[in-house]
Structure 1
Amino acid sequence: MSEAVSTGSGLDSVRRHNLGRIVELVHQGGVQSRSALTKATGLNRSTVAALVTELAAAGIVVESIPVGGQGVGRPSPMVAAGPRAVAFAANPELDAITVAAVRLGGDVVERVRREVATTPSAAEASAIIAELVEELAARLPSEAQGGGGIGLAIPGLVRDADGVVRLAPHLGWVDEPIVDRLRQATGRAVFAANDASLGARAERTFGAGRGIDDLVYLNGGASGIGGGIIAGGRPIGGARGYAGEFGHTSATAAGNALEDAVRRSELLHVVGLTAGDDAALEAALATAIAAEASVDEGVTASMPVEAYERQRPVTAEVVRQARTLGRALAGTVNILDPQLVVLGGHLGIVLELASDDLHDAVRERALEPPFEDVAIVRAALGQDLLLIGAAELAFDRLIADPAAW
């Protein structure tokens, strides 16, 4: 009897693995032909056909026959994400809470950003997220409204074991069981991790780091600066999931932490904004810098530094932040020797507007061998990056056991 149970259990495990592998390939590679899935999995055609049929019956994938193919014979059906393969993602910040519905493949179906007048407590954030998730779910096709889990991108230290937020200093959260609280409020599976670590994962899977095995991602937001590390193709979380807190490293001669010296709030202030998303901030900065550049360069070049900064305050602040960030990145390059450094949030804006200053600052302090082969680029996924990363936590559950979804 025990042998028969063991054999059945083993077959179930293999089946779950094979179903999950099909979902993973569609998730990471987009629309795939059945023949491509057969080649990638090493399974035979009839097995892949049966797996795809099962997933399609569950609404996790859909199949279609390509039109106008040039090959001989019957074309291989194409497999894409289905209507039920939707997860929810949330990113609580100091000034706003953003929630999105994300389709398998990292496609943000819809997002909503609710600004808050004061920094939300964990209980307040949970209530807002629960409300926004159900609001978004109601707009989805009926088959996508139910089982999708929720991934949380938290600007702080999140314990891997249970999703407890041990410390989110800018939010003022300490030992907050937000995963349990939100699970009870929504009845959905809930997962949480550090926002920047999720950003690193999203950029490697879908963005600028696709195919790169050694990269560092730094995210800048209203709640400070965090980072994620991919080494040898694997995320580095540390013993308990707390690795990557680049924002708390010393970045100035006076010993200021990086996130205290390179601040989104200062960029908002210098262009006269009190709030706004990254797109609004970047537009305002670019417009102000262009206006300052129209001032006669011959006049400003001979000014003392203090007078120059008064004449071009926006340019001066962006350049200051770029050089400070560059000096901090030099240490990261020396220690980790990444192939790629990806900058998101307001750090990506600083790179966009003062690239030469940032690169010069890295060059001044980095060792030549690791610096000469590293690329420093802006995140490719834009404002949706952390939401795409958070949704990965829910899609991990789908890939692990598609039948349970």
Structure 2
Amino acid sequence: MTDTHAPGDGVRQRNLSRLLRLVHREGPLSRASLTEATGLNRSTIADLVAELARLELVVEQAPAADGRVGRPSPVVAASAGVVAIAANPEVDALEIAAIGLDGSVCVRERRELDHLATPQEIAQLIAEQIDLWRTGVLASAQIVAVGLAVPGLVRASDGLVRTAPHLKWTDVPVRDLVARATGLATTVGNDASLGAIAEHLFGAARGIDDVIYLNGGASGIGGGLIVHGVPVGGAGGYAGEFGQNRPGTTVTDRRAGDGVLEDEVSRARLLSVAGLASADEPTLAAVLRASTAPSVTEEVARQRRILSTALANAVNVLNPSVVVLGGFLATLAGHDIAELLQVVRAQAMPACAEDVEIRPALLAEDRLLVGAAEAAFEALLRDPVLTAVPAE
């Protein structure tokens, strides 16, 4: 759309951004609540809301009757019709969803893969799915951007996937490939780092400033960090690779020689003892929970012992308030989360671990897609006027 900014519009842009972020992240808020949260006066709030509504980024709803005296304040909500496409390529499937600015998952698909897809194939699959949705469930939607959560090292400056070893991708310009295939602005990030942001903003670590997030998926174990409320990426954007650490596995528990954490604590090993060739997260969790086979019980216990040591090391280094576990790690923890916490505390420095909690990812199998969508929404949230493209 045409640049409608004028000189001196910086304050207005920041205020529009602030309001849009509030209703996006907090949910529907009354104009009175927005006035209180921002310190802006009522007429300014009314003007800003009107501008966001003109851009079709928010909708105003009738207030609920609450019995209070006086004229009720209209409720402002982020638009469900403004969506980001979120995708998570893995070794066995492509998960893809359209997620609304209001946080709703509009539609979600899992495309099973019988081979390691190339970056070009993934870009084409995403483009095909978007085209299909545009003729159906997303026919009237504003699609603002695409976000990818990739299980590998992603360079923060330009979205180059330096290495995704399980996918066998090396130095691939995934952002550019997907942008060309879809015609949409595209962002790419490490899957676990995006999962950490999603759980921090909307999930199990909401309102928590110091968080360790570990994600267990088909490609291994990744991690993300929130320190003093800020995501930590490191110098190149590669921080959080907990799965590549060596947890000091005992000889009796070792299965992968001199392997790293993700070689020992492994979704593939759980699938194997459960007798499954492949499965999504809920299916694997259900099968493990229902099984009474000694091989399953022993493998779950072995992986929990190794995981507890790795978590204790991380707690000693980072002293988090909360450790969030996603994917098959949440399944491992869920067998007895109190016992896992007890074992972690027994191996960690008492002062570092005395107040720590371990929580399963609240967003469950949507966590990586929600994180990818949040990255895709960022440009719009930063500058709603320049980025929004109202539907015709």
| Distance (whole Å) between structure 2 residues aligned to residue 204 and residue 137 of structure 1 | 31
How far apart are residue 397 of structure 1 and its match?
A: 1.0
| Distance (whole Å) between structure 1 residues aligned to residue 320 and residue 304 of structure 2 | 20
CA contact (8 A) 1:222 1:264 kept: yes
**1:270 correspondence with 2:266:** no
* Cross-structure match for 1:295: none
Q: 1:187 aligns with which of 183, 191, 194?
A: 183
Q: 1:110 aligns with which of 107, 110, 120?
A: 107
How far apart are residue 133 of structure 1 and its match?
A: 2.5
CA contact (8 A) 2:308 2:340 kept: yes
CA contact (8 A) 2:85 2:143 kept: no
Q: 3-state SS of the aligned residue for 2:44?
A: helix
Q: Render the CA deviation track for 1:342-398: whole Å, top value 9, x for unaligned.
A: 000000000001435533431332111111110011110010000000001111111
Q: 1:14 aligns with which of 11, 16, 25?
A: 11
**1:48 correspondence with 2:45:** yes
In the TM superposition, structure 1's runs of 4+ consecutive aligned residues that sit over 4 Å from their partners are: none
Q: 3-state SS of the aligned residue for 1:149?
A: strand
| Distance (whole Å) between structure 1 residues aligned to residue 97 and residue 67 of structure 2 | 39
Q: How does 1:128-143 map to 2 (within 5 A)?
A: 128-143=125-140
| Distance (whole Å) between structure 2 residues aligned to residue 392 and residue 313 of structure 1 | 40
After superposition, the Cα gap between the structure-2 partners of 1:68 and 1:96, relative to the gap in structure 1 and judged at 3 Å, is same
* Cross-structure match for 1:155: 151
* Cross-structure match for 1:308: none
* Cross-structure match for 1:24: 21
**1:380 correspondence with 2:383:** no
**1:95 correspondence with 2:92:** yes
* Cross-structure match for 2:55: 58
Q: CA RMSD in A?
A: 1.5
**1:284 correspondence with 2:287:** yes
After superposition, the Cα gap between the structure-2 partners of 1:357 and 1:39, relative to the gap in structure 1 and judged at 3 Å, is closer
**Which stretch shows the higher mean deviation, 329-338 or 245-254?**
245-254
**1:390 correspondence with 2:372:** yes
| Distance (whole Å) between structure 2 residues aligned to residue 286 and residue 334 of structure 1 | 31
* Cross-structure match for 2:174: 178
Q: Render the CA deviation track for 1:169-194: whole Å, top value 9, x for unaligned.
A: 11100000010011011110100110
Q: How does 1:201-280 map to 2 (within 5 A)?
A: 201-251=197-247, 252-253=249-250, 255-280=258-283
CA contact (8 A) 1:101 1:136 kept: no
Matching residue's letter, 1:9 = P
| Distance (whole Å) between structure 1 residues aligned to residue 219 and residue 27 of structure 2 | 33
Q: 3-state SS of the aligned residue for 1:111?
A: strand
Whichever structure has more helix as a proportion of its residues is: 1
Q: Render the CA deviation track for 1:111-143: whole Å, top value 9, x for unaligned.
A: 100000011111111111221233234333544
CA contact (8 A) 2:80 2:101 kept: no
Matching residue's letter, 1:348 = A
Percent of aligned positions that are identical: 50
Q: 3-state SS of the aligned residue for 2:32?
A: helix
Structure 1 unaligned blocks of 5 or more: 1-6, 293-311
CA contact (8 A) 2:80 2:104 kept: no
Matching residue's letter, 2:325 = L
| Distance (whole Å) between structure 2 residues aligned to residue 127 and residue 143 of structure 1 | 22
**1:36 correspondence with 2:39:** no
CA contact (8 A) 2:86 2:99 kept: yes
Q: 3-state SS of the aligned residue for 1:40?
A: helix
| Distance (whole Å) between structure 1 residues aligned to residue 169 and residue 73 of structure 2 | 52
CA contact (8 A) 1:88 1:102 kept: yes
CA contact (8 A) 1:322 1:355 kept: no
| Distance (whole Å) between structure 2 residues aligned to residue 348 and residue 397 of structure 1 | 32
How far apart are residue 44 of structure 1 and its match?
A: 1.0
Matching residue's letter, 1:120 = A
| Distance (whole Å) between structure 2 residues aligned to residue 186 and residue 61 of structure 1 | 25
**Which stretch shows the higher mean deviation, 352-361 or 238-247?**
352-361
CA contact (8 A) 1:319 1:354 kept: no
Q: What TM-score results when the alignment is normalised by the length of structure 1?
A: 0.90
| Distance (whole Å) between structure 1 residues aligned to residue 323 and residue 80 of structure 2 | 35
Q: 3-state SS of the aligned residue for 1:319?
A: helix
* Cross-structure match for 2:194: 198
Q: 2:319 aligns with which of 334, 337, 349?
A: 337
| Distance (whole Å) between structure 2 residues aligned to residue 13 and residue 138 of structure 1 | 38
* Cross-structure match for 1:74: 71
